[in-house]
Amino acid sequence: MLALRALNRLLAQHIRRPVVGCPWQLSPGCASSQACLNNGAASGSRAVVVEASRGSRARRLKCDNGVGEGWESVDYHSESGGDAYDDGYEEDPNDPHRAELLNAVVKVYCKHTEPNFSLPWQKKRQFSSTSSGFMVSDGPEKRPWVLTNAHSVAYHSQVQVKRRDTEKKFIARVLAVGTDCDVALLMVDDKEFWKGVEPLPLGSLPKLQDYVTVVGYPVGGDSLSVTAGVVSRIEVTHFCHGSCDLLGVQIDAAINSGNSGGPVFSEAGYCVGIAFQSYAGSDAENIGYVIPTPVIRHFLQDYSRNKKVTGFPALGITYQRLDAKDIRESCGLKEGQSGVMVRSVNPTSNSFGVLEVGDVLMEFDGVKIACDGTVPFRTSERIMFTFLVANKFVGNMADLLVLRDGTPTRLQFELGRPQALVPSHLNGKNPSYFVVAGCVFTSLSEPYLANEFGMDYATESPVKLLEKVYFGIPKKKGHQVVLLSQVLANEATVGYEDMENVPVVAFNGTPVENLCHLSEMVVNCKEKYMTFDLEYHQVIVLATEAAKAATDVVLEEYSIPNMASPDVREHLEKEKAGSGKRKLSERPSGAIRL
């Protein structure tokens, strides 16, 4: 349909007749549409409008043998007799391509300054990106905002937006970032930016086979781009940027680089989602993904309620489907009963101490869970039960019916956001680090792996690190995987220079809980040797006094401003103050001295 629309617009430049949005309709006596489409192919043919109803997206044409050759200009008049637009095109009030809707779509210009996770005391070279966004006013406060993707403004230094009808760029402030749902909220203070434009109305969740239109500023040009497709799938989808599973819409329209953050329109002209990612596999083409309006509204309501984004709650469990008859019988499920089995409970979640391994989740908020983990969703559709959990807000109560030891039991607890052992993102923060005698320690995160091993880190990273990413569970709140990132060459670390990307298990026999814990033990070490037990059956042993003396030399030689990141230094200062010990001395550069 859109390809035909584009063709019609091109022809309209020459014949000044209305652009049609549907396949050509021929009047009786016209053999084919080709006679109308071939400019000058049929000598003396001309196109005239014989029927045009207001609001109709199709106009009937007929071919007529007249005097003269080629196309003849045609004036368009609506039913009411009013004059047409200069281009001869009458806009359909339900047409998602009408100007007032497209004018609300903006181009987002962002300057990014990302941290260097390999050298965490440094920033990478600044780079630029362009993406899409749109004006919206759908929160409880009904104020106008600009929505775009979170990854479009990640580690932003400056954000500007530009409307399609002006060359002026406007400075935008990032009010909130929902990394898990990949949505960011921008505000433009300049009132000129909002003049003459109505924010887009948010629609409802589309249905399968609904026609949708993706609007934005993808690569390949500077002007607004429009592509079309249909809704091919609606299910809980993995959001790559936040490594979170939320409701998503799959469409068969291409979503290219630069489309991110742009609106997706329904045929009625409502915004039904935000374009945010596409399938990059070689075995499929034109698979794009859209953040639907229920997720967008959750984000907006979350921000309006809390003046910050608290995110989407989770149960903090891993579960197993009960498709096999034998396992259902062993759990005590009777005929007509169903559910999924709890296999682990995250100690940092609010469900810890409430749910137990072996429990069968039968219902969530009164909705029955099937043995495959799905629940009813609209007419004749099913969806994963985690959709019900993500629909709630942090702090809401979860009401579950579980089967424990063969007895149905009602349980309640407050929903929260469990901590992952390996964070999928740092929410815009800089990485933490600690340096002693050339040994650079940091905490493991997915951005770190992406920095070290590239965007294909899921296949290029060491297997043991990936095991922690996908299957690791923190032992308690604050638990981290502390990593020996690299060893900077100096006299104190001769023989250890090739060690890198190895998790630290213990320090002088004490298990390491997190980076702050390790730095605290190192600073307070009074033993003759510092022993770092590493995974893969490796160990680093350093003479304590020599290592501490070498630290200042390493900082100077490698232009490292501080031996620890600000958060680690703050922890060390609090620990010193709390223990009544003397405050850590500082070098002129601000680096803490061991």
> Which of 289, 312, 335 is a domain's end point?
312
Task: In whole angstroms, give the CA distance from residue 210 to residue 231.
Answer: 5
Task: In whole angstroms, give the CA distance from residue 359 to residue 405.
Answer: 8
Asked if residue 420 is part of any domain, the answer here is: no
Residue 22 has pLDDT above 60, yes or no: no
Over its C-alpha atoms, the chain yields an Rg (Å, rounded) of 30
Residues 200, 263, single domain; the answer is yes
Return all residues near 193 (Cβ < 8 A) that are at least 6 apart. Answer: 161, 163, 170
Judge whether 182 counts as a catalytic residue: yes
Residues 197, 277, single domain; the answer is yes
Residue 405 has pLDDT above 70, yes or no: yes
Residue 302 has pLDDT above 60, yes or no: yes
Residues 328, 199, single domain; the answer is no
Task: In whole angstroms, give the CA distance from residue 127 to residue 113.
Answer: 7
- With DSSP H G I counted as helix, E B as strand and the rest as coil, what are the percentages for the chain, rounded to 5? 20, 30, 50
Model confidence pLDDT, tens digit, residues 421-459: 999 999 889 999 999 999 999 999 999 999 999 989 999
Where does residue 361 rank: exposed (0-12), middle (13-18), buried (19+ CB within 10 A)? buried
Q: With cut-offs at 50, 70 and 90, classify the pLDDT of residue 100.
A: confident
Place of tokens 């070689």: 282
The answer to whether residues 23 and 4 touch, using CB atoms and an 8 Å cutoff, is yes
Mean pLDDT to the nearest integer, 63-81: 38
Asked if residue 422 is part of any domain, the answer here is: no
| Cα angle 327-333-334, degrees, rounded to a multiple of 5 | 125
Task: In whole angstroms, give the CA distance from residue 343 to residue 264.
Answer: 39
Mean pLDDT to the nearest integer, 587-591: 45
Give the residue numbers spanning the domain of 352.
Answer: 317-414
DSSP 208-271: TT-EEEEEE--TT-SS-EEEEEEEEEEEEEEETTTTEEEEEEEESS---TT-TT-EEEETTS-E
> Which of 279, 312, 345 is a domain's end point?
312
Judge whether 243 counts as a catalytic residue: no
Residue 51 has pLDDT above 90, yes or no: no
The answer to whether residues 16 and 89 touch, using CB atoms and an 8 Å cutoff, is no
Identify the pLDDT of residue 94: 54
Q: With cut-offs at 50, 70 and 90, classify the pLDDT of residue 90.
A: low
Asked if residue 234 is part of any domain, the answer here is: yes
Give the DSSP H/E element, type plus range, for residue 340: strand 340-345
Model confidence pLDDT, tens digit, residues 345-360: 999 999 999 999 999 9
Identify the pLDDT of residue 579: 62
Asked if residue 67 is part of any domain, the answer here is: yes
More confidently predicted of 14 and 514: 514
Q: With cut-offs at 50, 70 and 90, classify the pLDDT of residue 463.
A: very high
Q: With cut-offs at 50, 70 and 90, classify the pLDDT of residue 141.
A: low
Identify the pLDDT of residue 422: 96
Identify the pLDDT of residue 62: 36
Identify the pLDDT of residue 282: 67
Q: How many residues does the chain have?
A: 594
The answer to whether residues 45 and 82 touch, using CB atoms and an 8 Å cutoff, is no
Residues 228, 128, single domain; the answer is yes
The answer to whether residues 289 and 327 touch, using CB atoms and an 8 Å cutoff, is no
Identify the pLDDT of residue 140: 52
Identify the pLDDT of residue 7: 36
Model confidence pLDDT, tens digit, residues 530-543: 999 999 999 999 99
Identify the pLDDT of residue 435: 97
Neighbours of 513 (CB within 10 A): 17
Q: With cut-offs at 50, 70 and 90, classify the pLDDT of residue 256.
A: confident
The answer to whether residues 265 and 213 touch, using CB atoms and an 8 Å cutoff, is yes
Identify the pLDDT of residue 61: 35
Selecting among 138, 182, 245, 302, the annotated active-site residue is 182
Asked if residue 594 is part of any domain, the answer here is: no
Judge whether 344 counts as a catalytic residue: no
Asked if residue 427 is part of any domain, the answer here is: no
Residues 79, 110, single domain; the answer is no
End-to-end CA distance of the chain: 70
Residues 550, 490, single domain; the answer is yes
More confidently predicted of 584 and 253: 253
Identify the pLDDT of residue 3: 44
Residues 114, 41, single domain; the answer is no
Residues 147, 282, single domain; the answer is yes
Residues 108, 73, single domain; the answer is no
Residues 340, 403, single domain; the answer is yes
Range with the lowest mean pLDDT among 71-75, 514-518, 563-567? Answer: 71-75
CATH number of the domain enclosing 451: 3.20.190.20
Selecting among 97, 151, 479, 517, the annotated active-site residue is 151
The answer to whether residues 243 and 183 touch, using CB atoms and an 8 Å cutoff, is no
- How confident is the prediction for the chain on average, in pLDDT? 83
The answer to whether residues 445 and 431 touch, using CB atoms and an 8 Å cutoff, is yes
Identify the pLDDT of residue 331: 92
Residue 219 has pLDDT above 60, yes or no: yes
Residues 555, 540, single domain; the answer is yes
Asked if residue 390 is part of any domain, the answer here is: yes
Domain count, the chain: 4
Asked if residue 538 is part of any domain, the answer here is: yes
CATH number of the domain enclosing 187: 2.40.10.120
**E-state strands within 34-126:** 45-51, 60-65, 105-112
More confidently predicted of 53 and 202: 202
Selecting among 45, 260, 445, 519, the annotated active-site residue is 260
> Which of 360, 380, 414 is a domain's end point?
414
Structure tokens at 290: 């859209």
Mean pLDDT to the nearest integer, 461-473: 95
Structure tokens at 345: 């409970």
The answer to whether residues 271 and 265 touch, using CB atoms and an 8 Å cutoff, is yes
Residues 234, 367, single domain; the answer is no
CATH number of the domain enclosing 337: 2.30.42.10
